[in-house]
Copies of this chain bind each other. A is one copy, B any other.
Amino acid sequence: MTEFDLPCYLAERRAAVDRALEGALPAEDVAPATVHRAMRYSVLAGGKRLRPILVIAGAEAVGGSRERVMPTACALECLHTYSLIHDDLPAMDDDDFRRGRPTSHKVFGEAVAILAGDGLLTLAFRLIADNGALLPDPRVLREVIAEIAEAAGTLGMVGGQVVDIESEGKRISAETLEYIHAHKTAALIRASLVSGARLAGGSPAALDAVRMAGGHLGLAFQIVDDILDVEGSLAELGKTAGSDRRKQKATYPDHHGLEASRVRAKTLIEEAKAALAPLGPAADPIRALADFVLERRS
């Protein structure tokens, strides 16, 4: 991947996503202002924009352009951010800091934080619907919404969070931990890649390739997150370090040890790249993103 300038690619795509998000979110002076301030506070707090960039990279991998998928890219960031706001609530993970700043309910109160999450979740589907206007084949919209709703709902992300919450303070099996990671994190990452490819008119074979790659990449992302949580420090992560440990949440290294966790993440990234082989050089951005997921330090 030495040919591909990932830092430049990421910076450029991230800036485009940030501009689009700025426009996709209601302005702070639109009534009711409180909830729009809360939504913007959390979404525009920075972050890697991994999911929107995966939507774009998924489209590019099948010859599509980022303009055609930008509303859905923004939708995936809204979905991710809503899940963070709700996960951080006192009734859930009870986190005071996120991305180095006080969490939504610390700033706006619990009621507005819940409603800001609800607002972002609802806005996400509005944005995907808007993306429908850019599609040559309007039937694709139905498949994309079904894919994203399934990945975000109780058979995906929400389901993973339910089992995560229920497992707190308990000894859980390696299978349950894998279930949590695959649902809470990997499902939406996979859906990002698949939606981008689908919106750009990817063939069934191309969709299968990015679906496989996205699942591996998503699971690797969460394993690396667990490793960073164990190793990390407040300064490095911008959130209370070792917070999963404090809350007695099982991590991948707890079950398998740090070294085996690193090996598993590396293997998953190799499998993700192998799945991408049929897509040729067009999938280079996804391959570079896969390396980034493995090597990131925060």
Contact = CB atoms under 8 A, between A and B. Distances in A.
Interface in A120-165: 121-123, 125-126, 128-130, 132-133, 138-139, 141-143, 145-146, 149-150, 152-155, 158-159, 161-163, 165
A63 interface: no
Given A114-B86, A153-B122, A155-B26, A146 B162 contact: no
Copies of this polypeptide in the complex: 2
A129 B146 contact: yes
A8 interface: no
Given A126-B149, A132-B141, A34 B119 contact: no
B119 A92 contact: no
B149 A125 contact: yes
* Chain B CB within 10 A, most for which of A31, A32, A139, A146: A32
Contact of A39 (B34, B129, B139, B154): B154
A48 to B, nearest CB: 23
A89 B159 CA distance: 20
Contacts of A26: 154-155
A108 to B, nearest CB: 10
